[in-house]
């Protein structure tokens, strides 16, 4: 099973790289349009696959290759989006909103902490 996920992840990562490169060259803007496009298309694809493949249309290996592998390599935002939709569909709006808030705020704080840590390491490495 791990090899199916790995192969799908490699294909998804390559697709993201190719699409983002194409979009970045044609966008002509500093707004991260290509990331937005990748995240939206990945979310649409995962939502479709999770519903369509739920009825056993394909075997477990193909399902893992397409969902965890390809969509996971293409964008992890797709998983976040689908999990939020699943919470809302279950009527759990409160947990869905909490998940959105925590995901966005903590991820931004994590990125900020990572940037700060990198800056501190660079300063430390350069010495007094």
Residues 73 and 112 in one domain: no
Q: Tell me whether residue 42 is exposed, middle or buried, using C-beta atoms within 10 angstroms of its C-beta: 0 to 12, 13 to 18, 19 or more.
A: buried
Domain range for 127 is 93-128
How confident is the model over 38-88, as pLDDT tens digits?
A: 888 888 899 899 988 887 889 999 999 999 999 999 987 888 888 899 999
Residues 105 and 80 in one domain: no
Residues 83 and 98 in one domain: no
Residues 43 and 102 in one domain: no
The span from the CA of 38 to the CA of 26, in Å, is 15
Domains identified in the chain, total number: 2
Higher pLDDT, 44 or 21: 44
Residues 70 and 97 in one domain: no
Q: Pick from 64, 57, 69, 52: which is nearest to 11 by CA?
A: 69
Taking a C-beta distance cutoff of 8 angstroms, is the pair 60, 26 a contact?
no
Please compute the mean of the pLDDT values over residues 120-125 and round it to a whole number. 86
pTM here is 0.73
| pLDDT value, residue 101 | 92
């Amino acid at each position: 099973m791990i090899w199916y996920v790995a192969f799908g992840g490699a294909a998804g990562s390559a697709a993201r790289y190719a699409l983002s490169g194409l979009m970045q060259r044609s966008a002509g803007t500093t707004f991260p349009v290509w990331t937005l496009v990748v995240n939206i298309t990945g979310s649409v694809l995962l939502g479709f696959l999770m519903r369509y493949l739920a009825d056993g249309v394909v075997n477990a290996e193909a399902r893992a290759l397409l969902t965890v592998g390809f969509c996971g390599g293409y964008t992890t935002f797709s998983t976040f989006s689908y999990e939020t939709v699943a919470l809302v569909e279950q009527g759990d709006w409160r947990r869905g909103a909490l998940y959105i808030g925590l995901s966005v705020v903590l991820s931004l704080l994590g990125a900020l902490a990572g940037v700060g840590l990198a800056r501190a390491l660079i300063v430390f490495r350069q010495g007094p």
